[in-house]
Every structure is written in C-alpha cells, then in structure tokens.
C-alpha cells in the first residue's frame, strides 16, 4: 500500500471513529481485558495493552487510529503482563468463528487472476498464466453467495447453542466479522469458567466429532429405544435426528443396513456446524472489537440483533464510509457488489468510486488512492 493510500485510509478511519466512538464498548470490567492493535500495515500486533476506563480506551483509538482493534475473550487479573501465565486468567467468554470457503465465480467478469511469478494479471478465469504457465492466484472479493452460506451456518450454530446447550438468547451476541464470516460471543455466567476439556466437548458436539458410527449403526439397526440406552452428547444428538427422520424405532429396525447408513451420513452432514475449532479452544484468543473497522475489507464488525439475523445484508449494512467520490487507480478488480451498487470489472484504470468502495479495493490490495 502506498503512503498516500494509507493517509487516505487513516483520514477516513478517523472520521468513522470520531463519529461512532460511542458504539465501541468493550465488555465490562474493561480493566480486566487485554487489547491488541494493528497500528501500521505490515507491522506486527501491538498487544498486552490495557485500559483503566472506557474514556482512556476511546482516547487511545482517536489518537492512534488503529487499522484493527482486538479485545481478549478472557478476563485477567493483570491483563497488561506480557507473560501469558502471569496475566492470571479469571475466566473467558466462549467465542465462535464461522468462515466459509470462497465460492467459485459464476461468470468471467466476476473473476480476476494474478500471476505471482511473472506479475501478469487480467479479468477472467484462468488457472495458468498464459505468459509463463505458472498456476495463477484468483482475486477473491466478498461474494453475497459465500456470505449467505456463512450466515446459514451461523443460524445453525445459534439454534444449537440456545436449544441444546441452554444458552439464553440475551447472552448470545452475533456479529458480521467485517470480512468473510460471522462471530458469536457467549457471555453467560455458567459458561465463563468452562475449561479446555469442556470446550473440546462443545466443539465435538458442534462438529459431530468422536462419533463411533459402527456402534451407533448397531444401536439403530437393533431398534433400541432411547429409554433403554444411555446415549449422551453428540451420539444422542445424531440418534434423535435419525429417529425423527425415520418416524419410529420399528421403522428403523425394518430398514436395510445401507438405508440406515445413508441416513447416518446425511444426518451428520446436516447437523455439523462449521465453526473454526482453533478459535473456540483458545481461551487467550483476542477477538475483533465489535463495531470496529476490519482493515482486510474496510467494513465494520457489525452487531446483528438475533431477530434481524436471517435478513441481514452484510454488503450493505456493514459499510463504514460515505459515498462521496474518490479517485482510485485500480490495478485489477473483478465485478463486485457493495452498498447496493455494482462496480467493475476494472483493469489498469483510474476510476471515480464512492469512498466506501475505494477503501474496499485499497484494503483488498487491488488499487491505490489517486486523489479526492
């Protein structure tokens, strides 16, 4: 990123934070949390930072204008200590991250590629560089389809957390991450002290891991009813769903082995919630700060009310910047949608874009600021 682009970004980030600073409220008590920041592009994270008050935190943000802001899921006695074991963990929120794999572009103009070897690039779908024959890297912008898929997984996760694990809807906080997925934070007293072991159990339950399929298949085919077996956790979850689909224990018993096996496979696929287990297991994890800007896209990690979840439109509702025109020198960008409008495709051209779209392209590393 050129210096002029970085200055443009910092100017616009400052405007956003100046106008929205009251939306940035870390969980209480603020003095027990560790904070982390990316202050400059390409430099490491500045972490182990702590604040005594909300006012100090806000002052820091308005004076430093960080590119990214993080807060610990954990409460510590001494959050500013650089030695993790000396921080003295008190407890930690449960934190889930759902990202889905990028989907393939449907049309040629929605794709672009770059060759990392010889530097060529163009609009379109090409797996190999036409100049040097090396494998190309596809330019991935956010797609509505991909984000809808992630939203579907998030709804699935919330359903399980509330219905199966007994988490109160009021303690379930959902956010669009500002880039490729969704975050769910659980701030409920009886879940704050869950250890590594308990967290692993929750992860297994969500990912349907550690299921002895042979054993379960035997139980299902023998037609054992739930009262006569002591199934729990993930096994019970799968058993109950299969029973529901089959209609009754008798019907299961009468089914062919292949039929039951197929059912088992389908149900595992249906129930699995694609969380990132690494994030949930780590109690020392730093979470992106709600309502802060994600510098991988220039969009906001936006809080979503549970009742608005199914109709949430990330590419419209998580925009941080205005629509005044900015001039941008775009290297390469496939056609993309943002803020209810469609842009591009662009190649080696200077274009006028609304500030929010210009910042998106800069954050994705595909263009540089060329004046306002």
Taking the least distance from each CB to Zn ion, the nearer of 19 and 348 is: 348
Find the shortest distance in angstroms from Cβ 68 to Zn ion. Answer: 32
Taking the least distance from each CB to Zn ion, the nearer of 135 and 169 is: 135
Taking the least distance from each CB to Zn ion, the nearer of 127 and 307 is: 127
Cα distances (Å, whole numbers) of residue 121 to 111, 127, 130, 280, 343 = 11, 12, 10, 38, 19
**Cα 189 to Cα 185: distance, rounded to the nearest angstrom:** 13
170, two tokens: 């009021």
Find the shortest distance in angstroms from Cβ 118 to Zn ion. Answer: 3
**Site map 1..40 versus Zn ion, x via CB under 5 A:** ----------------------------------------
Taking the least distance from each CB to Zn ion, the nearer of 138 and 279 is: 138
**Cα 273 to Cα 85: distance, rounded to the nearest angstrom:** 32
User: Residue count at the site for Zn ion (CB under 5 A)?
Assistant: 8
**Cα 204 to Cα 216: distance, rounded to the nearest angstrom:** 16
Q: HSE-up of 244 (CA within 13 Å, CB side)?
A: 7
Taking the least distance from each CB to Zn ion, the nearer of 107 and 131 is: 131
**Cα 124 to Cα 138: distance, rounded to the nearest angstrom:** 9
**Cα 358 to Cα 298: distance, rounded to the nearest angstrom:** 9
Residue 338 has a CB neighbour count (10 Å cut-off) of: 22
Segment 112-131, which members bind Zn ion (CB under 5 A)?
115, 117-118, 120, 129, 131
Q: Angle at CA 181, nearest 5°, toward 176 and 185?
A: 55
Find the shortest distance in angstroms from Cβ 188 to Zn ion. Answer: 52
Q: Is there binding between residue 351 and Zn ion (CB under 5 A)?
A: no
Find the shortest distance in angstroms from Cβ 119 to Zn ion. Answer: 7
Helix, strand, coil shares, percent, the chain, to 5: 40, 25, 35
**Binding-site member from 45, 132, 168, 281 for Zn ion (CB under 5 A):** 132
Segment 96-115, which members bind Zn ion (CB under 5 A)?
115
Find the shortest distance in angstroms from Cβ 136 to Zn ion. Answer: 7
Find the shortest distance in angstroms from Cβ 246 to Zn ion. Answer: 55
Interface residue list for Zn ion (CB under 5 A): 115, 117-118, 120, 129, 131-132, 134
């Amino acid at each position: 990123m050129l210096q002029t682009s970085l200055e443009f970004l910092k100017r616009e980030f400052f405007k956003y934070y100046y106008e929205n600073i009251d939306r940035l409220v870390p969980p209480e008590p603020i003095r027990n949390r560790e904070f982390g920041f990316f202050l400059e592009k390409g430099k490491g994270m500045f972490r182990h930072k702590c604040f005594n008050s909300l006012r100090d935190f806000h002052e820091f943000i308005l004076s430093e204008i960080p590119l990214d802001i993080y807060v610990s899921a954990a409460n510590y006695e001494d959050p500013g200590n650089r030695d993790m074991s000396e921080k003295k963990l008190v407890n930690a929120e449960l934190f889930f991250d759902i990202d889905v794999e990028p989907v393939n572009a449907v049309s040629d103009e929605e794709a672009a590629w770059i060759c990392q070897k010889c530097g060529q690039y163009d609009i379109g779908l090409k797996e190999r560089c036409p100049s040097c024959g090396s494998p190309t890297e596809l330019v991935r912008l956010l797609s509505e389809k991909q984000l809808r898929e992630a939203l579907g997984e998030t709804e699935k996760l919330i359903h399980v957390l509330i219905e199966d694990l007994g988490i109160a809807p009021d303690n379930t906080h959902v956010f669009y991450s500002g880039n490729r997925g969704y975050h769910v934070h659980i701030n409920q007293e009886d879940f704050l002290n869950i250890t590594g072991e308990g967290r692993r159990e929750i992860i297994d339950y969500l990912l349907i891991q550690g299921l002895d399929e042979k054993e379960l298949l035997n139980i299902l085919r023998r037609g054992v009813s739930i009262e006569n077996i002591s199934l729990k956790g993930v096994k019970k979850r799968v058993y109950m769903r299969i029973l529901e689909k089959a209609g009754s224990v008798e019907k299961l018993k009468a089914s062919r082995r292949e039929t039951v096996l197929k059912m088992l496979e389908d149900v595992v696929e249906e129930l699995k919630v694609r969380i990132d287990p690494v994030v949930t297991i780590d109690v020392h994890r730093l979470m992106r700060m709600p309502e802060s800007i994600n510098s991988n896209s220039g969009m906001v990690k936006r809080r979503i009310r549970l009742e608005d979840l199914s109709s949430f439109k990330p590419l419209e509702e998580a925009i941080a910047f205005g629509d005044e025109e900015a001039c941008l020198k775009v290297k390469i960008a496939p056609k993309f949608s943002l803020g209810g409008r469609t842009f591009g495709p662009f190649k080696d051209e200077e274009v006028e874009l609304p500030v929010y779209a210009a910042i998106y392209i800069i954050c994705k590393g595909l263009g540089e600021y060329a004046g306002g």
